Structure 1
Amino acid sequence: MHRSRSASGPRVSARQERDFRALMDLAHGFMASQVLFAGCALRVFDAAALGPVDAAALARSSGLSPRGTRLLLDACAGLGLLQRCRGAGPGGPAYTNSPLASTFLVAGSPLSQRSLLLYLAGTTYLCWGHLADGVREGRSQYARAVGVDADDPFTAIYRSEAERLLFMQGLQETWSLCGERILAAFDLSPFRVICDLGGGSGALARMAARLYPGSEVIVFETPDVVAAARTHFPPPADEDGAEPRVRFLSGGCGVGIWAQSPRPGLSDRRDLLLRRVRGALRPGGAVLLVESVLSPGGAGPTRTLLLSLTMLLQAQGRERTEAEYRALTARAGFSRLRLRRPRGPYHAMMAARGGGARARIDIGGGEVTSQTGSGTGSEVGTQD
């Protein structure tokens, strides 16, 4: 015997209604991100920075569909990226940037994240389209997403000059927001040399040079990246006209180190890299690791869990807990790792070289240990 239902269907509780709305927000989240990405790609926010803009005028000046432009502008306003002006002219309603867009989406803003968003809209978004395949196979999805299959993720990231420059600019924008807090999490002034391994355009290194003028600051990168940094990312002058003292050195970075063992596993590569770094440090040296760290047990935060999936899809890696980073650095011979949590998306961790009388040093009442970074940037400090 079947239970009868009303003609209108099963009853839906208030909780189920809330859950359904939450489900739809998750299901349609990619649409909101695409509105953001399209606004950046079509320079909507740059146009609105010059004054109120309407769909008809923007369509004429940019060669866009008037109808499509109006739909995009309305969607941007609905998401809080644009603000609709009162009244409407012959071209329809006009729009101005919201404070969020003025700060983060306008090219030329000191805190602009436009290049980072365009990188996410391209390579990262394509890889995420193959998330189920990545989970099924446990490997990078570059081959499906962009047609590049390589053990080294940077072969795909730097697959063209345009892609390399966009990635470098995106990292530079990230450091404009949180780089100084990361570098100030530990006092690096006692270190005579600070070396940023895989330092890209040198943005983080230049911040280090300003914060610690008594240290020699070096960026170690592949020859192609060093050439691109010198050509496309000239250092800005300080207020007194002097450029921060940063020296670029070119070499194999992690790629050359990884090549020493035939097609090693990812854990082998990390351990080998850290051991090589430790071997290059003098007693008292340190390595700074800059990462988004998972909470104990790996249950959160959500942003780090999503970033961990990105690492799977683009670098065949993952994010880790503090305990896992302690084990990772200990295997390479580093002393006790310390973690600090400056405001922002990344944490700073330091581990000492170990194996010498000066492997641990006290600075400002706190024990500073050597520092290591794998994905977002790493500084290696040596102390005379």
Structure 2
Amino acid sequence: MNTAPETHQITPSRIMETALAFFASKTLLSAVKLNVFTVLSGKSLSGKEIQAALKLHDRGVYDFLDALVALGFLNREGFLETARYSNTPETGIFLDKHKPSYMGGFVEMANDRLYPFWGSLEEALLTGQPQNEIKHNGKPLFEELYAKPERLKQFIDAMSGISIGNFMALARKFDFSPYSTLCDIGGAAGILSVEVAKQHPNMSCISADLPTVEPIANEYIASKGMSDRVKTKNVDFFTDEFPQADVITMGMILHDWDLPNKKMLIRKAYNALPEGGAFIAIEALIDDDRRKNAFGLLMSLNMLIEFGVAFDFTGADFERWTKEAGFRRVEVIPLAGPSSAAIAYK
């Protein structure tokens, strides 16, 4: 009888899987960009039918579709020419443009903007300089985004797609009963305000952003029948004080800036709140030990690529900065996936 202890065999499998993870990433990004999951909305189709709908070349059709099956993004019955393909529950909910839960806007932006920029990560790490539009035309990211309506719409759709699950979770998990007013700073399409107002009849909300965003937000708010409970307001958070409210929220705003600007935004939030008010920052908070939330750490690298000086942060960082501003207590509520709500009480 062999009584020797089992030894763990070291293999390069995880190295290879991660080194070539961009194969899988680009396959999914391309599927969203080509509308694979929308074409399959509520039905199954053959490979030839999908090929005709998407105008794909013969060579890659089955490799592409079967790769999506192997990656878990499509279901399949049959084989090659006899196969019928359909969405999985996840892709049917989140990547079908016909669904209000569609989050493909973020995936589309990842394909069009982030994917090529991440090819320059080494340069960002060596120089500390952003690798986005500013590298090619000298214009800062937000100036470039806000100057082109189609770019701005894509960016807002992207932020909406990555954030809606978090906003729904916040509206469900945070106790809004002691409060009556909310102002969402950098509110984009107004999704956070709409979700809170929908779930809490006691709340009146303001979605505050720059004037170019206001038509997009008003259209979304009206489409949800919430125009009586959710209003928009033009606010430049660098030059304006924040509107007074019981709750101030920021969804993926703080991580866009360097430390002095983070602290400036926190001070403005403190000044806009009454005693007992709450400041809520929704972010992909890095765990305090910086070992577990890989998404948060990778998002911080994305901030390096986008802005150079910007970075993501831990709950402990947030607590230190907010208490320095005068907040008395902090808590963290997990939301969807790797994201959390960091909450500071005045």
Residues in 1 aligned to 2:335 and 2:52: alpha-carbon distance in whole angstroms: 46
The AA in structure 2 aligned to 1:40 is V
Asked if the contact 2:319/2:330 (under 8 Å) is kept, the reply is yes
Output one character per residue of 1:27-53: Cα deviation in whole Å (capped at 9) or x when no partner. Answer: 110010111011111111122225332
Output one character per residue of 1:235-263: Cα deviation in whole Å (capped at 9) or x when no partner. Answer: 3346xxx7561000012124668xxxxxx
Q: Which residue of 2 aligns with 1:344?
A: 337
Q: Which residue of 2 aligns with 1:96?
A: 86
Residues in 2 aligned to 1:50 and 1:348: alpha-carbon distance in whole angstroms: 34
Matched, 1:235 2:222: yes
Q: Which residue of 1 aligns with 2:199?
A: 211
Q: Which residue of 1 aligns with 2:250?
A: none
Residues in 2 aligned to 1:144 and 1:351: alpha-carbon distance in whole angstroms: 34
Matched, 1:120 2:110: yes
The alignment covers a number of residue pairs equal to 324
Q: Which residue of 2 aligns with 1:308?
A: 300
Asked if the contact 2:132/2:305 (under 8 Å) is kept, the reply is yes
Structure 2 vs 1, CA of residues 322 and 51 (structure 1 numbering), >3 Å: closer, same or farther? closer
Computing the radius of gyration over CA atoms, which structure comes out larger, 1 or 2? 1
For the residue of structure 2 that corresponds to 1:122, the secondary structure is: helix
Q: Which residue of 2 aligns with 1:83?
A: 75
Q: Give the alignment of 1:116-265 within 5 angstroms.
A: 116-143=106-133, 147-150=137-140, 153-231=141-219, 233-237=220-224, 245-254=229-238
User: 1:214 deviation in Å?
Assistant: 1.8
Q: Matched residues, percent identical?
A: 24
State the TM-score, normalizing by the size of structure 2.
0.84
The AA in structure 2 aligned to 1:106 is D
User: 1:14 deviation in Å?
Assistant: 7.9
Asked if the contact 1:104/1:113 (under 8 Å) is kept, the reply is yes
Asked if the contact 1:123/1:146 (under 8 Å) is kept, the reply is no
User: 1:149 deviation in Å?
Assistant: 3.5
Q: Which residue of 2 aligns with 1:45?
A: 37
The AA in structure 1 aligned to 2:170 is I
State the TM-score, normalizing by the size of structure 1.
0.76
Among 65, 69, 72, the alignment partner of 2:57 is 65
Q: Which residue of 2 aligns with 1:15?
A: 9
The AA in structure 1 aligned to 2:175 is D
For the residue of structure 1 that corresponds to 2:83, the secondary structure is: strand
Residues in 1 aligned to 2:30 and 2:86: alpha-carbon distance in whole angstroms: 17
User: 1:126 deviation in Å?
Assistant: 2.3
Residues in 2 aligned to 1:244 and 1:86: alpha-carbon distance in whole angstroms: 52
Asked if the contact 2:279/2:344 (under 8 Å) is kept, the reply is yes
The AA in structure 1 aligned to 2:235 is G
User: 1:59 deviation in Å?
Assistant: 2.7
The AA in structure 2 aligned to 1:128 is W
Output one character per residue of 1:113-141: Cα deviation in whole Å (capped at 9) or x when no partner. Answer: 21111111121222211111111122322
Output one character per residue of 1:341-378: Cα deviation in whole Å (capped at 9) or x when no partner. Answer: 2453321122233xxxxxxxxxxxxxxxxxxxxxxxxx
Output one character per residue of 1:78-132: Cα deviation in whole Å (capped at 9) or x when no partner. Answer: 212122222565xx53322222321222112243221111111121222211111
The AA in structure 1 aligned to 2:44 is P
Residues in 1 aligned to 2:342 and 2:145: alpha-carbon distance in whole angstroms: 26
User: 1:145 deviation in Å?
Assistant: 6.4
User: Higher RCO, 1 or 2 (CA under 8 Å, sep at least 6)?
Assistant: 1
Residues in 2 aligned to 1:67 and 1:214: alpha-carbon distance in whole angstroms: 58
Structure 2 vs 1, CA of residues 126 and 88 (structure 1 numbering), >3 Å: closer, same or farther? closer
For the residue of structure 2 that corresponds to 1:129, the secondary structure is: helix
Q: Which residue of 2 aligns with 1:382?
A: none
User: 1:229 deviation in Å?
Assistant: 2.2
Residues in 2 aligned to 1:145 and 1:270: alpha-carbon distance in whole angstroms: 24
* Structure 1 unaligned regions, length at least 5: 1-12, 258-264, 354-384
For the residue of structure 1 that corresponds to 2:276, the secondary structure is: coil
Deviation larger for 131-140 or 337-346 = 337-346
Matched, 1:327 2:324: no
For the residue of structure 1 that corresponds to 2:93, the secondary structure is: helix
Asked if the contact 2:171/2:196 (under 8 Å) is kept, the reply is yes
